[in-house]
Structures are given as structure tokens and as C-alpha cells.
Amino acid sequence: MMIAHLSDSQLLAGALAGEPATALNRAFGRLLALEPPPDCVVITGDLVETAGPGEYAVLRDILDRCPFPVHVVGGNHDGERLVDEHGGTRYLAGGTCLAYAVDYPEATVIVADSPIPGRPEGRLGAGQLRWIDETLGRRPDVPAIICLHHPPVTVGIPFPDGMGLLDAAELGEVIARRGNVARVLAGHVHPDVAVPFAGTLVSIASATYRQSAPGPTSFLLHVLTGDGCATHAVPAGDVFAY
């Protein structure tokens, strides 16, 4: 199974829409050219910048062109409008909750809701941690991919490290106890970073827009193999919009 992992598109609307929308279009253009294609796409939050309705219209126009499953994750920029705009659609697995799970034959994709309204840092909370634990236990012999916006690790960059996941240790206890998490996918930081965590690996995808350092736009491909999970970075900045 192959999962494409994008993050932090931070789309704008109106006169400011051009650059972030072009960047996300370029990433999807490269993604749609992959052979074989990914089985699904995960976008780990901060889909839009201010959570305005015009921004979600730009996002929907781009996502609707993707022929395979897309799973979106709520970020601290996205707000409650994410459910208003995408609830009941395939982007939230047909539901109206930002915490949901999708069962694939090769893996369980678990999407968690980490933002705290009005604050840059994140928290899962006891109820959601129990749900993650129960979901991991439902298919104990199948690899799981946990997706959230806020990384449960520090990355050595002071600004994002000061607004990470507040209950990272509790999530780590769940993951270590279950032992079937192949990857934790996150965003929020903006460069690509990989950090060991609780017996697995946290993979943070770079932003498709507003990189924290000069360089080409990229996204990650997580490939589940019989031996585990391999992660590849795919440059996308030199591909025309589709």
C-alpha cells in the first residue's frame, strides 16, 4: 500500500489565492503522474489560512480532481468550518467528525483531531486517546497509520517545538502498548522531518506553501511493504499545475 502525504497548504482566497493554490496544484500534478498511483492521500492539516469560505472553495476545487481517496486532517488554521464545508464527503470518510478511521486491507488509517481552538499547540485528550487505543486494538495484526497535525516530538526548531502536542507522552504510551503503528504522520513544522517515537517513526511532511527554508516543494510517499514501511520524499516544485 502506498500513501501520499502532503501538509500545510494554507490556501488563501481572492487576490491572494495564487501562490498557495499554485503550489498545491503542482504537488497534486506530480502526485497524479505517479505510476503506480498511491492508494490514498493524507493532508495533515492547515489546509487553509484563515478558515474563510472562499479558501475552502479553492481547496474543494483542487481536491475534487483527485480520482483516489483523500483524507484531510484538521490543523490549527482550519477551524470548525472544515466540518461545515467537508462533513459528509469522502474527505472526512463520509462523516462529520475530524477524528475518524478508514480500514484498508493493508492498513488502518486513523485520523486524529489535535487542534485546541484559539491556541497554536495541540492536544488529543483522554477520550480521543481511548478511541485511538480501541481502534488500534480492533485490527491488531494490521499495520496502522496515525495522522494528526501536531507532531508528538520535538524537532530542534524552537518555534514549532514550542507549540507541539501537549499529551504526546500519553499517545506514546498507547502506541508502544499496541505495537502495530507503522507511522505517525504530522505537519505543522513545514520542513520534512523524521523522528523516532514510541517504537515507530514520526514523519512530518513539508508545507506545500511557505517553506521554512529555501528549496523545492515536496511531499512524502509512505510505502507499506512486507518488511515494514519505507518513506520517500518526492520533489514537486518543478511540475506544472494540473
pLDDT attached to residue 212: 58
Per-residue DSSP letter, 165: B
Is residue 79 predicted with pLDDT exceeding 60? yes
Q: Is residue 131 part of a domain?
A: yes
pLDDT attached to residue 238: 45
pLDDT attached to residue 160: 84
What digits encode the pLDDT tens for the residues 188-225?
Answer: 998 899 999 999 999 999 999 876 555 667 899 999 99
pLDDT attached to residue 53: 80
Q: Please report, for the domain that includes residue 67, its CATH number.
A: 3.60.21.10
Q: Is residue 168 part of a domain?
A: yes
Q: Which three cell numbers stand for residue 106?
A: 493493508
Q: Is residue 240 part of a domain?
A: no
**C-alpha to C-alpha distance for 187 and 149, rounded to whole angstroms:** 5
Q: Are 175 and 140 in contact, with CB atoms under 8 Å apart? A: no
What digits encode the pLDDT tens for the residues 36-48?
Answer: 999 999 999 999 9
pLDDT attached to residue 239: 36
Amino acid identity of residue 47, one-letter, is L
What is the percentage of the chain residues whose pLDDT exceeds 90?
80
Q: Are 122 and 148 in contact, with CB atoms under 8 Å apart? A: yes
What is the edge-to-edge ordering of all strands in the sheet holding 70-72?
Answer: 70-72, 40-43, 2-6, 218-225, 228-235
State which residues form the domain around 127: 2-235
Q: Is residue 242 part of a domain?
A: no
Average predicted confidence (pLDDT) for the chain:
92
**C-alpha to C-alpha distance for 210 and 10, rounded to whole angstroms:** 8
Q: Is residue 241 part of a domain?
A: no
Instruction: Provide the domain count of the chain.
Output: 1
Is residue 89 predicted with pLDDT exceeding 90? yes
For 70-124, give the DSSP string: EEE---TTT-THHHHHHTTSGGGTTSS-SSEEEE-SS-EEEE---EETTEEEE--
**C-alpha to C-alpha distance for 106 and 130, rounded to whole angstroms:** 23
What digits encode the pLDDT tens for the residues 119-142?
Answer: 999 999 999 999 999 999 999 999
Which pTM was predicted?
A: 0.94
**C-alpha to C-alpha distance for 99 and 174, rounded to whole angstroms:** 16
